[in-house]
A and B are shown apart, each in its own frame.
Chain A
Amino acid sequence: MTSGFSDLSVSVSDEVRSTTCYMCACRCGIHVHLRSGRVSYIEGNRSHPVNKGVLCAKGASGIMQVFSPSRLRAPLKRVGPRGSGAFVEISWEEALSTAASWLRPLRESAPEKLAFFTGRDQSQSFTGWWAQQFGTPNYAAHGGFCSVNMAAGGIYTIGGSFWEFGQPDWDRTKLFVLFGVAEDHDSNPIKIGLGRLKARGARVIGINPIRSGYNAVADDWLGITPGTDGLLILSLIHCLFEAGRIDLDYLARWTNAPLLVNATEGAEKGLILRNAESQPFVIDRRTGQPAPWDGPGVEPDLGATYQGHRTVFQHMAERYLAAEHAPEAVAERCGIPAGRIRALAAELADVAFNQAIEIAQPWTDFRGNRHETMVGRPVSFHAMRGISAHSNGFQTARALHLLQIILGAVETPGGYRLKPPYPKPVEAHPSPHFTAVPGQPLSGPHLGYVRGPEQLALKADGSPARIDKAFSWEAPFSAHGLMHMAIANAHAGDPYRIDTLLLYMANMAWNSSMNTSQVMAMLTDRDASGAYVIPRIIYSDAYASEMVAYADLILPDTTYLERHDCISLLDRPISEPEAAGDSIRWPVIEPDRDVRGFQSVLLDLGVRLGLPGMTNPDGTAKFADYADYIVNHIRRPGVGPLIGWRGADGSKEGRGEANPDQLRRYIENGGFYQAHVPAEARFMKPWNMAYQDWAVKTSFYETPQPYLFSIWSEPMRRFQLAAEGHGAIQPPDHLRARLIRAMDPLPIWYPPFGDDEAAGWGYPVHALTQRPMDMYHSWGSQNAWLRQIRGRNFLYVPTALWEAHGFEDGDYARVTSPSGQITVPVAHMAALNPHTVWTWNAIGKRRGAWALDAGAHEAKEGFLLNHLISELLPARGDGHRWSNSDPVTGQAAWFDLRVRIEKAGPQDRSLPQFPDLPRVVPQGRERRR
């Protein structure tokens, strides 16, 4: 028998162009193969630091995103009622001049009346800069409804966080513990890492109510009850303290554990005790006397008491040794037997201390002490949305970092490693800027890290300065803003009315909002005069998402293969622990529609408005387009969006003048650049002078910024003090008790808001969503390949509930929460926490959207849990309705959801259903070949 294939060496394509994936947030390197000028095949780039050649299900399906029938084709102007989907195509000139005519008067009179929020935006250092030049305080990306608790919890504790800013030492860790995770944060690096751990037999422990995906391959699974991760972590800390299995040397040298806590009653109680020069100090074990915290040779005494003031360490011991944290006290609530908690604590201690590793790498710390080796604790952790999307998520994230710290496993070999430009202490970040002045830019960046009440974004009358109430008493550390509150607050006129809502890549009329039906009503609501309550909505998206119908003006974006982008060290880079990294996208194909990259459109709009920074004195454009901006924008002297190939001849790294040839150099290198960390600087970065000096040289900060990890958080204590009545800036009375509890300066656990009451109200079951590894938000449903893999979602029900309700295959359930009801198909799942139901995120679609057939499973049986989640909690005894958010950061508490379920028998569609969205693009058809 002869082969049917005459030639096995057929060339794959005419040309390969290397750029950066955008099928999720992970930013892998891809090779895009072109045949006759069309995309023919996409594969991972082997030399790329993020994915090292591999590619996930989404990435390889990117070709179908580029051919998607739901791509918008031209700018659109609304001609019917909002939400009706009645649009006419207009020219870009008309679109841009319309937008400029709406925005110009706002900038000249009240810049805050523009609210600009971006969703899955990977150009935040640019979009934020644009909003700053416009002068509105109302800018943020989507972190507030995503995972700001992880980011802020980490930065306030260790000066970095998981995912983009840190990762396990995959090469050396021997025990990896994964707390509930969204599988695109990040996608391929975690899979690559897990594969490496498996290949060398390292142990993996998964702590997640749902045993799927990464948890399915974990050696041990702890099917924790949602919202109790912090309780479990503090119990592990209890066990380690009880046994004295903590890294005392690490705590004494690198954390604020030996600093003294002011015990004097009054306005400074609980702050770190300072000397006459306003410097924190320690008690030196050698002398028993006060000594500078950073003095050469000083040996800080963890157990010191000085004039009645005790060390942070003593406060820790007192709290975590308390019986309330014993495994036996928390086992039932966590849903994990006490013996398993004790066994996990023992395993952590065994690996950290009995299996310690040592690297023969001399280094010098910031005190000037020379060390001959680096000692490692080969235990590492990763966590993301699972633990952070709760109203106790910030404290839980802090607790997890505390657990890493007491094991000595942060920035040591085998543990958790920060990625440049992190480590970076809170003090090295800006604080929020929010004062709108007509006709003027904002005085600095919108988002930042608050150190005390005086940095809150409040107006003179104490009301929030921002439409989302970020950096207010309701969410003091809301470092990513509160996008999920923007529409509700704008509709309520609370704290004030806005004029124009500008949204980018955020499906707020569907899966990106809580309380979806209500949001649709808010977007279409009219006042007594018949005018829309939110007067104008401009939206930019590449696809016919559900949000498109609710905008007045649509600015159609390109797909990711048709655009320039910049993955920058100024916001969310692609660094590795041993290399700072950034990357670009570039148009590997040209659009075949009348669409433009949103960033170039913003620049054009900015010039029409005469915004500083992008407009020349004669009114002409300073940058031709976004690509020109990427190369030539100077943020600080010598520092621009990209660190690679700077300087006139491309020889400079990090700092240097703009290089007109920079993008070509990136393209030649596969779209990315890496600045490698010197060998001596690879670990112990916050305290390692070789790293500090390299970080200054490479432009992350202007002077070395060594710091101690903040086990005791002074910024948090300052808010407690205010809530206790100290200081001139005072919170509203109804928030005092909540602030005192939530702003505890030592990590604590409290039940998610409403959790204690939920069962009594008749909502005994926890309800979660997970994002599948093969879908990203709502994008996947337009993808012909991905929707065949996961075009349906079910409510997965654990065995006990399945049997108790007498469910059978094909049944539906009525699912009721305090704020809504849905009727949805169910399926049985055994490997699931017994008090928890869940479904896949964002599979459900509205009929008419995404170029799908009206009978598509996504629109017929598919569903969202969003209908059950309100942005406000039920009224409390005092009549106030708290935001359904973390009280520290304002992170949307998606996973606090509590429901009851009832059998509804077989149905032919899920509820609620909404009227068909009129199509702005035709329904998709089979692709011609």
Chain B
Amino acid sequence: MTTLPKSTARQLGLVIDLDTCVGCQACVTACKGWNDQGPAVAGLSDRDPYGAEPDGAFLNRVHSYQVAPDGGGAASLAQTVTFPRSCLHCQDAPCVTVCPTGASYKRAEDGIVLVNEAACIGCGLCAWACPYGAREMDPSAQVMKKCTLCIDRIYNETLPEVDREPACVRTCPTGARHFGDFADPESEVSRLTRDRGGYDLMPALGTRPTNKYLPPRPKDRPVEVSPLSPLLEIRAGDPAEGLAGWLDRILRKI
């Protein structure tokens, strides 16, 4: 068993906007590319990469779901929701408390949940304990890997300050991913969460995730504009006269 810090000074995490995410997978490969070359994660291997069953470690994956709302009329049209999934850096992280070696831990200074790969025995208990499926066993190294919030970027003084954010956030083409400190009520992530109804994934589990998701806005609403009124009833009566009458009316507008 590994203990969690009672509280963390900062609470770093992500806000992911499901209204804006188009499911392009950019964050998936940006994460893969950054963490494959380290140093915080010692590579993300790909077993049988050109074979029948390629099996690689990805710390961030994007899924797509079909949703069938029941709003009547246009609002009952089926929808597609894309959903990026990675470690939520829970405040009550079950993956940490289940770890038998202390390899999994949560940082007191910023709340980031990490794996000390040198201490990981690859038992897989943490992946079993995580209700979000956010941990990945590296198929070659046989140690557990997970999102580090790019700890080797966000504190990396060799990077320009503007680049000290997670690779997934830096690359997101639609700007659907936001990084910041939830302990600061004035931070962008706190503000977005407030303004847009950011929510926890599966709150009933009591994991208290740090990352928040912004829900898709309502879709396929009836437009709040009255249909256009015709200048005059062209379809009635003599079409030629209708056209002449229409021309006459419209050209008076100039």
Contacts and interface: CB of A to CB of B under 8 A. Distances in A.
Interface of A: 1, 3-5, 7-12, 33, 35, 40-44, 46, 51, 53-61, 63, 69, 183, 187-188, 191-192, 194-196, 198-199, 211-221, 223, 239-246, 248-249, 252, 285, 301-303, 314, 317-318, 321-323, 326, 337, 339-340, 342-347, 349-350, 773-774, 782, 784-789, 791, 799, 828-832, 851-853, 855-857, 860, 923-927, 929
Contacts of B115: 4
B230 to A, nearest CB: 5
B22 A213 contact: yes
A242 B234 CA distance: 8
B23 A773 contact: yes
Contacts of B222: 343
A852 B54 CA distance: 11
Contacts of A832: 78
Interface string B137-176: 0001000000000011001111100100001001111111
Q: For chain B, what secondary structure do more than half of its interface residues adopt (helix, strand, loop), or is it mixed?
A: loop
Contacts of A187: 173
B64 A60 contact: no
B247 interface: yes
B121 interface: no
Interface string B1-40: 0100000000000000101111111101110111001111
Interface string B214-254: 00110111110111111100110001001100111111011
B156 A8 contact: yes
Contact of B49 (A53, A54, A927): A927
Nearest to A54: B173
Contacts of B2: 1
B213 to A, nearest CB: 14
Given A240-B228, A343-B223, A3 B114 contact: yes
Residue in B23, B50, B77, B119 whose Cβ sees the most chain A Cβ within 10 Å = B50
A926 B22 contact: no
Given A242-B228, A314-B247, A63 B80 contact: no
Interface of B: 2, 17, 19-26, 28-30, 32-34, 37-40, 43, 45-52, 54-56, 58, 64, 66, 68, 74, 77-82, 102, 105-108, 114-119, 140, 151-152, 155-159, 162, 167, 170-176, 216-217, 219-223, 225-231, 234-235, 239, 242-243, 246-251, 253-254
Given A1-B102, A213-B23, A784 B173 contact: no
Residue in B159, B221, B227, B246 whose Cβ sees the most chain A Cβ within 10 Å = B227
A273 B22 CA distance: 50
Residue in A337, A788, A831 whose Cβ sees the most chain B Cβ within 10 Å = A788
Contact of A239 (B140, B158, B217, B228): B228
6 contacts: A195-B20, A248-B250, A774-B25, A787-B49, A788-B49, A926-B48
Residue in A8, A59, A215, A929 whose Cβ sees the most chain B Cβ within 10 Å = A8
A60 B32 contact: yes
Contact of A195 (B23, B155, B175): B175
Given A10-B39, A248-B253, A785-B32, A212 B64 contact: yes
Given A60-B26, A784-B46, A789-B25, A42 B176 contact: no
A303 B247 contact: yes
Contacts of A342: 227-228
A243 B80 contact: no
A515 B75 CA distance: 40
Contacts of B230: 242-243
Nearest to B58: A788
Contacts of B251: 248, 301-303
A1 B247 CA distance: 81
Contacts of B32: 60-61, 785
